[in-house]
Structure 1
Amino acid sequence: MRYFELLDDMDIQDRWLPGEARNSQGLEIDDIWQFADGCPVQIKEQLRIPISHPGALLDYATTSVGGTPVVHRRVANIFSELASDDVQIIPVEVEGQTEPYFILVATRNIRCIDVQQSSEVKYWLPEDERPEKTGTYRAVSNMRIDSTKVGEAKVFRPWGWTVALIVSEHIKEGLERAGVTGMRFEEVTGPSAISPEEREHNRKLKVLYDRTETARTEFWRTLGTLDENAILPIVVGGGWPARRQVWRVIHRPEGRTLFVTDGLSDFFVETVEPSVGFGLELALETNEPQTDWPVTLLERIANELVGHEHLREPARTGILSMEVDGERMPEPLLTKEGRVGVLLGMDTPTLPGHFTMPDGQVRLVTVKTLMPRELTYLLEHGREELLHRFNQSSPGHLSKAWRQPVV
């Protein structure tokens, strides 16, 4: 019997991303990882799934952090029909949708990873200072399983690496016949398909990933307390240099929070050569508590810079003003056209303008939100007087959704 890892197809353009499950009061549940543990769960209330990123709905999608599979009824029916002993189907309400959706729980956890045939397996070590994980899998690349250890299971998660959802060939064929959307498959049985050349290529990629991520994380920690528990969606794919879009949260003095992009200065994955990518990262600082709109705003600004080379150069070297889509942005920031104006590259004594990576200098580009009246003033009179007025307040680079305009 052949087996396949069932994956969320993140290469689909303009697709939705489901958020983590919430209870009937609209609060995120305590254990968002329980649905991907490979064991039955006990749910006693109606769960709701918010939409963390709007787009075309798919029959199969997973949440960004907990890895919870959220499936349409047609997918749930196939699993119920072909693997009823291996799954638990939990009805959920998806934000703004009348179509039936469910959480798909694989209830079997099987020790079956073939360490010799998998391309690379890493373990948690004592020096990692995670004693509860020591000796367990830390990473599994191009996983292969020993199918003789699976028994009669058609759907399961591998012991020690439950991020993977495995289905039998029979299940795969049923899903493909039904034409369900949002999923792709990678075989996990048979010899590894990775050639020695591909292994070396992947090794070089990992070295570059580790080097850039380590250096940038060290820099973020010089700016304040890096929030390791902040749950922000990580997007794989797109036009960022290393095809990964990450945002970090840093807590600063006086109750300020700094939101930063973490990947615009990655190396370019196509060339697998050391570089600082686009040579910049974005930083938006606010003193407004418990707010999440800055991440959405940073994502939209970053995508504009990624998609337009003529915007990246002034962002790297000077000051740039621009407008982005204002959907799901605070109402006071919106222009009559539903846009949000921002000023990029404003100097501030409280943040460095550049930082050093192993492969070059990176500019830290501040993001200042503009009130609609300020945007109009900038377009009519230029930015010098506006910058002067911002700098009269301290610190002038802070972004707020609720403030009086300076003009």
Structure 2
Amino acid sequence: MYYVIRYGPAEDNSADLYMDPIPGKKVSFTRGERLGTLPLLTFRKRAGDRGAFLDYLGSSPPCMVVSDRFVEALRSVGVDNVDFYPAQLVDEATGKATPGYQAANVVGLIACVDAAKSVYTLMPGLPEGGAIPKNGIFEFKSMHLDYTKVHGAKIFRLFETTSTIIVHESVRDAIEKAGLRGIRLIPAEGLDAFY
């Protein structure tokens, strides 16, 4: 079984971060492509944000910011398609920097939405019918995957909407066993979601 990984639940009260620009380099963590060498990345929590630095944090621009415990959970089940970049989290209210975090870049996109079973809306302006283009889905009313195209991947970004990260149940089990916080795992089958 596969799950969509999201930030939350609300009671965990995760901090909302933003990433400092990288001098001379523009990167995207949602393309599924390798990024090469990066300097130490800095993610900031705005003064007044009462959220905590948990094991799984979101940022602007979009990037998975994860604790070293999260990295170990992925490695414990053999995940080998995520590149990690050292990061520090800075609380703007105190100026304190917190180490022990990584920016996670999931490498690879898999086109595996079962278009015949899924109910979805395409991005405005796209024609109906035919193959769903990269980032072509605006929202799902009911997502279904074609597992013959997944080939047992443990974690991947969905080609049809690259902001969606999907994990195998072995990853879910490792996350739960480690007691990681700031993570919601939602069954992929039948998912109703807006992007």
TM tier, smaller: 0.7 to 0.9
Residue aligned with 1:121, SS: strand
Runs of 4+ in 1 over 4 A off after TM superposition: 133-136
1:71 to 56, 66, 70: 66
Paired with 1:157 and 1:135, the residues of 2 have a C-alpha distance of 11
Residue aligned with 1:166, SS: strand
Equivalent position of 1:151 in the other structure: 151
> Is the CA contact 2:154–2:171 (under 8 Å) kept in the aligned structure 1?
yes
Deviation at 1:41, TM superposition (A): 1.4
Deviation at 1:50, TM superposition (A): 1.3
Deviation at 1:78, TM superposition (A): 1.4
Residue aligned with 1:175, SS: helix
> Is the CA contact 1:36–1:66 (under 8 Å) kept in the aligned structure 2?
no
Residues 83 and 135 of structure 1: CA distance in aligned 2, closer, same or farther (over 3 Å): closer
Paired with 1:135 and 1:16, the residues of 2 have a C-alpha distance of 30
> Is the CA contact 2:67–2:100 (under 8 Å) kept in the aligned structure 1?
yes
Deviation at 1:21, TM superposition (A): 4.3
Deviation at 1:84, TM superposition (A): 3.5
Deviation at 1:153, TM superposition (A): 1.3
Unpaired stretches in structure 1, ≥5 consecutive residues: 128-132, 195-201, 207-407
- Given residue 44 of structure 1, which amino acid in structure 2 is its aligned partner? L
Equivalent position of 2:26 in the other structure: 30
Q: Which protein has greater RCO, CA pairs closer than 8 Å, 6+ apart?
A: 2
Indicate the RMSD between aligned Cα atoms, in angstroms: 2.8
Paired with 1:126 and 1:173, the residues of 2 have a C-alpha distance of 38
> Is the CA contact 1:7–1:184 (under 8 Å) kept in the aligned structure 2?
yes
Equivalent position of 1:161 in the other structure: 161
Paired with 2:169 and 2:12, the residues of 1 have a C-alpha distance of 27
> Is the CA contact 2:12–2:181 (under 8 Å) kept in the aligned structure 1?
no
Paired with 1:126 and 1:61, the residues of 2 have a C-alpha distance of 32
Equivalent position of 1:117 in the other structure: 117
> Is the CA contact 1:108–1:155 (under 8 Å) kept in the aligned structure 2?
no
Q: % of aligned pairs identical?
A: 21
Residue aligned with 2:53, SS: coil
Residue aligned with 2:51, SS: coil
The structure number with the bigger radius of gyration is 1
TM (normalized to structure 1)?
0.41
Paired with 1:170 and 1:13, the residues of 2 have a C-alpha distance of 23
Deviation at 1:134, TM superposition (A): 7.6
Residue aligned with 2:69, SS: helix
> Is the CA contact 2:67–2:101 (under 8 Å) kept in the aligned structure 1?
yes
Deviation at 1:136, TM superposition (A): 5.2
Paired with 2:133 and 2:187, the residues of 1 have a C-alpha distance of 28
Residues 169 and 84 of structure 1: CA distance in aligned 2, closer, same or farther (over 3 Å): closer
- Pair 1:51-2:45 in alignment: yes
Paired with 1:57 and 1:119, the residues of 2 have a C-alpha distance of 36
Deviation at 1:161, TM superposition (A): 0.7
- Pair 1:41-2:35 in alignment: yes
Which deviations, in whole Å up to 9, do the C-alpha atoms of 1:218-251 show, x marking residues without a partner? xxxxxxxxxxxxxxxxxxxxxxxxxxxxxxxxxx
Which deviations, in whole Å up to 9, do the C-alpha atoms of 1:338-381 show, x marking residues without a partner? xxxxxxxxxxxxxxxxxxxxxxxxxxxxxxxxxxxxxxxxxxxx
- Correspondence 1:176-187 to 2 at 5 A: 176-187=176-187
Paired with 2:58 and 2:187, the residues of 1 have a C-alpha distance of 19
Residue aligned with 1:45, SS: coil
- Given residue 188 of structure 1, which amino acid in structure 2 is its aligned partner? A
Equivalent position of 1:15 in the other structure: 14
Deviation at 1:83, TM superposition (A): 3.5
- Correspondence 1:262-341 to 2 at 5 A: none
Residue aligned with 2:33, SS: coil
> Is the CA contact 2:8–2:14 (under 8 Å) kept in the aligned structure 1?
no
Q: How many residues align?
A: 182
> Is the CA contact 2:135–2:159 (under 8 Å) kept in the aligned structure 1?
no
Deviation at 1:56, TM superposition (A): 1.6
Paired with 1:119 and 1:110, the residues of 2 have a C-alpha distance of 19
TM (normalized to structure 2)?
0.80
Paired with 2:150 and 2:4, the residues of 1 have a C-alpha distance of 14
> Is the CA contact 2:56–2:183 (under 8 Å) kept in the aligned structure 1?
yes
Larger strand fraction of residues: 2
> Is the CA contact 1:124–1:135 (under 8 Å) kept in the aligned structure 2?
no
Residues 160 and 74 of structure 1: CA distance in aligned 2, closer, same or farther (over 3 Å): same
Larger helix fraction of residues: 1
